[in-house]
Amino acid sequence: MNDMQSPKLTVLVVDDAPDSLQVMNAILSPLYKVKVANSGERALKVASGNHPPDLVLLDVVMAGLDGYEVCRRLKDSPMTREIPVIFLTARNEIEDETHGFSCGAVDYIVKPANAPVVLARVRAQLQLKQMSDFLRDQNQFLEREVERRTSETVAMENVTIMTMASLAETRDSDTGNHILRTQHYIKLLAEELRRQPRYAQELSDEVVDLMFKSAPLHDIGKVGIPDSILLKPGKLTPEEFEIMKRHTTIGRDAIQHAEDSLGLEVDFLKYAKEFAYTHQEKWDGSGYPEGLRGEAIPLSGRLMAIADVYDALISSRIYKARMPHEQAVTQIVAGSGSHFDPALVEAFQRIADQFEAVALRYADISPLKADGCTGESR
C-alpha cells in the first residue's frame, strides 16, 4: 500500500478458541488491520483504548464474559457504542440470533462461515459505519456552525439595540446608565412576578429574556423630540408636554418601520414596541398615548412603568434633583391602583432592595445630590 492509499480499517476479532482467531486473521488481514482478543474482558479493554477498532467480530460462547454481555457493555459505553458488532458463533437457534440483535449487534453469522460471506458482511457494515460517521461529523459541524451564527446574530441584535438606545440617551446627557438600570429592573420584577401562578406561563424564561433584551428601546422615540423640550430645565408648558408625549408613538412607529423593512416579525421587537408605546400608560387610565386602563395595558408596559418611574425618581435630571431610595419606594407604593398595577407594586415592594442594588451598581458617574423631590419620567 503506497502513501496515497487510505489506511486500513481495523477489525477486532474476539474468540477464546485460538484456531478461530487464526482462521479469521487469515481471512481478514489481506484487507483489514486485525486485532485479536481471547476473552470478553480483553475485548472491552482493546475497544476502549486509544485506537478503537472500526468493527468487532464477536463469538458468543466464551469463558468469563460471554459475547452477549460484551456486546451490551460496548453499547452502554459512550466510548464504544458506535462500533458495529457482528456475532460470529456456532449458536444457530432463532432465539440466539434474536437475543444477539437485542444486545445491539448489527449482524449475526453462524459458524462455520465461508470467507466470502464473512468478508461481504464485514465490508457492508464498515461501509455503513463510514457513512454514519460522515453524517455524524457533518451534523456536528452544522450544529457548531448554527451555534456560531446564532451567537453572531444575538451579538448583532444586542449591539444594534444598545446603539439605538444609546442614540436616544445622548439626547439627554443626564440619564447616564438609565437604559442599563431599567433592563435589570425589568428582569428582577418579571422574575419576582412570575412566582405567582397567574403570571408563571406568561413570563417564561424566553419572554423574560426577550423583555430584558428589548427594554433599552423604551425611550427610543426621544430622538424625535426637539432639544428645547427634551432638555428644558423647568416645567413643560401644556403645548410642550403634548409634543413630549409623542415620543411613545415615534418610538413604536420607528421600531415597526424597522420590522416592516425586514419583512418579518421579530420576537424581541414585539416587546420593544410595547415598551416604547405603553410605558407611560397608567393603571387608572390617566396616562398616554391611548389612556389605556388596567390589564388593557400590556404587561410589558406595566412593568416598565414601575422601572422607568423608579429610575427617574432616584436619578438626577436636568429638570429635577434625585430622590432617596426609601422615598422613591414610598412614592411608587402610593401610586398603586392609580399609576401602577397593584400586583406589580406588591412584587416591587418585595424586591425593592434589589432595585437599590442595581441603582448602585450602575450609578451614573457624576455624584448626585439627594434633595428629595417628586416627579416622574417624561
Complete domains list, the chain, with CATH = 10-141 (3.40.50.2300), 171-361 (1.10.3210.10)
Q: Is 295 exposed, middle or buried (0-12, 13-18, 19+ CB in 10 A)?
A: exposed
- Residue with C-alpha cell 478461530? 20
Lowest-pLDDT range, 53-57, 84-88, 184-188, 315-319? 315-319
CA 200, 300, 346, 187 dihedral sign is positive
- Residue with C-alpha cell 419572554? 207
The pLDDT of residue 374: 42
Q: Residues 276-300: what's their mean pLDDT?
A: 97
Cell triple for 202: 406568561
The answer to whether residue 375 scores a pLDDT higher than 50 is: no
The pLDDT of residue 244: 93
Q: What angle do CA 101, 105, 107 make, to 5 degrees?
A: 90
Residues 6+ away with beta carbon under 8 Å from 45: 37
Q: What is the pTM of this model?
A: 0.57
Could you count the other beta carbons within 10 Å of the beta carbon of residue 118?
Answer: 20
The pLDDT of residue 238: 92
Is the Cβ–Cβ distance between 122 and 174 less than 8 Å?
no
